[in-house]
Amino acid sequence: MLAAALGLGLLVGLIIGALGGGGSILTVPLLVFAIGLSAQEATSASLVIVGITAVVASVSHARSSHTAWRTGLLLAAAGIPASVLGTRLNRLVDENVLLLAFSVLMLVAA
């Protein structure tokens, strides 16, 4: 499991760094189906994985002067309270419903 987790981490890090997003779309299904976590565990772990990876990638992008700070901070300010609500909803929703909702999100994103 450690080798799979490290390999998947490399893949997710590469994609987040190159594309600036999409980490959760990749990590949640991989954590559920390849690693065997529950949907709730996978979404929580994904936030840690993507959050840390995004911070590191953000520093690199900021050094290249490619960061729209004002826009990013405005979206973050609105997103922070919504993420707290989403975390609470995650604990209340059945795992199968959560995976179905995530599947719909993946289809919409595609």
Question: Residue 8: what pLDDT?
Answer: 73
Under the banding of pLDDT at 50, 70 and 90, the label for residue 54 is confident
Give 60-78 pLDDT, tens digit per residue: 888 888 788 888 889 889 9
Cα separation, 56 vs 58, in Å, equals: 5
Whether the Cβ atoms of residue 30 and residue 8 lie closer than 8 Å to each other? yes
pTM: 0.71
Hey, what are 9's tokens? 């981490």
Report the distance separating Cα 55 and Cα 17, nearest Å: 10
Query: What digits encode the pLDDT tens for the residues 84-103?
Result: 898 888 889 899 998 898 88
